[in-house]
Amino acid sequence: MDRLFTDQLGEWKRSCYCGEPRAVGVGREMIFVGWAQTRRDHGGLIFVDLRDRSGLVQVVFNPEVSAASHEKAKQIRSEDVIAVRGLLSRRPPETVNRQLGTGEVELLVHEVKLLNASQVPPFPLDDYAEVNENTRLKYRYLDLRRPESLAHLLLRYRMVKKIRDYLDGLGFIDVETPVLTKSTPEGARDYLVPSRIYPGKFYALPQSPQLFKQILMVAGLDRYYQIVRCFRDEDLRADRQPEFTQLDIEMSFIQPKDVIEMVEGMMARLFKELKGIDLRLPLLRLTWQEARARYGTDKPDVRFGLELKDFSACFQQSQVRVFSAVLQGGGMVKGLSVPGGGTLSRKELDDLTAFVANYGAKGLAWIKLADGEWQSPIAKFLSDQERSGILTITGAKNGDIIFFVAADDPVTHDALANLRLHLGEKLGLIPQDRYALVWVVDFPLLEYSAEEKRHVSVHHPFTAPLDEDIPLLATAPLKVRSKAYDLALNGVEVGGGSIRIHQVEMQKQLLGLLGIDADEAEAKFGFLLEALSYGAPPHGGIAFGIDRLAMILSGAKSLREVIAFPKSQRAVCLLTEAPSSVDPKQLRELGIKTIVDK
């Protein structure tokens, strides 16, 4: 039998949030509204924990205070919406609840209004229950009633507010840019929006407002920022959603260090005011080369050591065939030395071998140092010279294990970077309560794409080369470094940007290097090239992943925790069940015919 509550709120106005009343308010008549979290019915007395976003207050239904209210309260179940009016009272001393901010007081109810009955919730809303994520996301409105879930959104809001305050203080102007815009080549797959007025043509949702913010600099805005939704139609990860929020910043007449210092000030404020942490400025800064060499990645997690070591020189003439073969083929032998790693079992070593295979490594060699002995499948092939080389490079001691990967550059670094993180986690080497920020600078401007058989931008096609490397553009384009900088936080790329090309000839040269001919450039970026030719100032900026920052600052394991209504890994909104089919009439209006059924 469905319960039906018909009371109306009427003139009742809440006195304060449920989590707020304290002993100083005792003796006042108060009204609370909210959701019944639990009801404890003692037959005579009924206690209800009334909850709203601020917390809990205990309300007491006593037949000697109000027989009518006590009678009504028997109907109350979890998640019903009720309003109570009564006397805020001090709890009897032996019943004070120290766990609760409101634990010294309770409301003696004189009158209750039953505003809306709830069905039995599909999962418990207390903090003790671990619930499957798909259930939580389907009933996200219930999930968000849980304080833990709400806290993530709250932290995110406070972070964004502080960012706005900071940038406002520095004279940045928030300007909105179009969401219906033009598809641009390079980069991720676009989300497309069909045009009704021009059948067969499409808008694209922005992957970022990159070109608009540059054009705002040409317009003389000087300092722009925006907190803006961006869209990329690529497969999802724990730290990747198809729509995500970017803090987009652009400034004129600046060098990389101006952006870096501005951002460091912002980070210092966020960490101070949100986490009570004093960042040491300037932040650690690594060149891209150094980050690759020491950590194997351009977004190193510098909360712990376990740095990569290069053994290439040591194994040039090695009897270990896989090593010498790879080296002769132009590859490298690198590895890492794990203090105390000698305890890893054979099974664990096999698992680690399978782990690096994920990243293309054909094998994982290892040496255990135990009681002066070298336990290793390759031990018998190692010369004395190699042994002493290994010890010098690693400083390894008894009880340690040394891993080796031999492959070409991307595979070696990729495999070891991931192995490093994996071992760091597995062996508990990563301090969980620390935040480590690091700038990575001087990225290469270009890399060669074997798949596309041309140069592609490492950052994006509008990134400026380092002044001293400009001559190399004509002679050795792959050696050119760029004025690009990324900020990594605990091994996650949270921000990235660059100084842009502001001279049209240089921009044309760059597009040429990317294999984009003049006609194509004109069709796709004509408006930008034209804008650059009308007195574009030197400019540059940076963009941050707001979701990622919020995720790390709130200690969440997934972006979904800091997004109110996230998509599942298959890019479905489990609440609304988007995407969905549409009425054939809508398709006709758009001049669209689908070629896939369902």
Pick one of 25, 147, 187, 538: the residue that binds RNA (CB under 7 A): 187
Helices then strands, counting H and E runs in the chain, come out as: 16, 22
Contact 332, 407 (CB under 8 A): yes
Q: Cα–Cα distance between 439 and 51 in angstroms, integer? A: 44
Exposed e or buried b for every residue in 17-33, given b needs 16+ CB within 10 A?
Answer: bbbbbeeebeeeebbbb
Show contacts with RNA in window 115-144 (CB under 7 A).
120, 122-124, 126, 128-135
- Cite the DSSP H helix spans in 4-60: none
Largest CA distance in the chain: 94
Q: Cα–Cα distance between 378 and 298 in angstroms, integer? A: 31
Closest separation in Å from C-beta 372 to RNA: 38
Angle CA(100)–CA(106)–CA(111) in degrees, nearest 5? Answer: 140
> Is 92 an interacting residue with respect to RNA (CB under 7 A)?
yes
* Of residues 207 and 507, the one with the C-beta less far from RNA: 207
* Of residues 350 and 589, the one with the C-beta less far from RNA: 350
> Is 529 an interacting residue with respect to RNA (CB under 7 A)?
no
Closest separation in Å from C-beta 389 to RNA: 31
C-alpha pair distances (Å), 380 with each of 124, 344, 390, 391, 564:
60, 21, 15, 16, 58
Closest separation in Å from C-beta 506 to RNA: 17
Closest separation in Å from C-beta 340 to RNA: 25
Q: Cα–Cα distance between 137 and 576 in angstroms, integer? A: 10
Show contacts with RNA in window 238-257 (CB under 7 A).
238-240
Q: Cα–Cα distance between 228 and 225 in angstroms, integer? A: 9
C-alpha pair distances (Å), 309 with each of 139, 225, 393, 574:
49, 41, 7, 45
Q: Which stretch binds RNA (CB under 7 A): 148-156, 157-165, 262-270, 564-572?
A: 564-572
Show contacts with RNA in window 429-458 (CB under 7 A).
451, 456-458
Beta strand ranges found along 436-480 (DSSP E): 437-441, 446-449, 454-457
Show contacts with RNA in window 337-396 (CB under 7 A).
358-359
Q: Cα–Cα distance between 494 and 435 in angstroms, integer? A: 13
Pick one of 97, 312, 324, 383: the residue that binds RNA (CB under 7 A): 97
> Is 208 an interacting residue with respect to RNA (CB under 7 A)?
yes
Pick one of 13, 280, 570, 585: the residue that binds RNA (CB under 7 A): 570
> Is 152 an interacting residue with respect to RNA (CB under 7 A)?
no
> Is 419 an interacting residue with respect to RNA (CB under 7 A)?
no
> Is 110 an interacting residue with respect to RNA (CB under 7 A)?
no
> Is 210 an interacting residue with respect to RNA (CB under 7 A)?
yes
Closest separation in Å from C-beta 177 to RNA: 13
* Helix axes 409-426 and 346-357, enclosed angle (nearest 10): 140
Closest separation in Å from C-beta 387 to RNA: 34
> Is 4 an interacting residue with respect to RNA (CB under 7 A)?
no
Pick one of 14, 77, 164, 285: the residue that binds RNA (CB under 7 A): 77
Residue span 30-49 as binding mask against RNA, x where in contact by CB under 7 A, dash where not: --------x-xxxxxx-x-x
- The length of the chain in residues reads 598
Show contacts with RNA in window 394-413 (CB under 7 A).
none
Show contacts with RNA in window 293-332 (CB under 7 A).
none
> Is 188 an interacting residue with respect to RNA (CB under 7 A)?
yes
Show contacts with RNA in window 454-473 (CB under 7 A).
456-461
* Of residues 287 and 558, the one with the C-beta less far from RNA: 558
Contact 320, 363 (CB under 8 A): no
Q: Cα–Cα distance between 222 and 233 in angstroms, integer? A: 32
- Cite the DSSP H helix spans in 103-209: 133-138, 140-143, 147-169
Show contacts with RNA in window 46-65 (CB under 7 A).
47, 49, 58, 60, 62-64
* Of residues 101 and 265, the one with the C-beta less far from RNA: 101
> Is 539 an interacting residue with respect to RNA (CB under 7 A)?
no
> Is 578 an interacting residue with respect to RNA (CB under 7 A)?
no
Closest separation in Å from C-beta 383 to RNA: 35
Residue in the structure block whose two tokens are 């676009």 = 190
> Is 224 an interacting residue with respect to RNA (CB under 7 A)?
no
> Is 68 an interacting residue with respect to RNA (CB under 7 A)?
no
C-alpha pair distances (Å), 71 with each of 25, 57, 58, 106, 312:
27, 20, 18, 19, 82
Pick one of 189, 269, 275, 426: the residue that binds RNA (CB under 7 A): 189
* Of residues 368 and 459, the one with the C-beta less far from RNA: 459
Handedness of CA 182, 185, 191, 195 (dihedral sign): positive
Q: Which stretch binds RNA (CB under 7 A): 92-100, 217-225, 256-264, 290-298?
A: 92-100
Pick one of 19, 50, 66, 78: the residue that binds RNA (CB under 7 A): 78
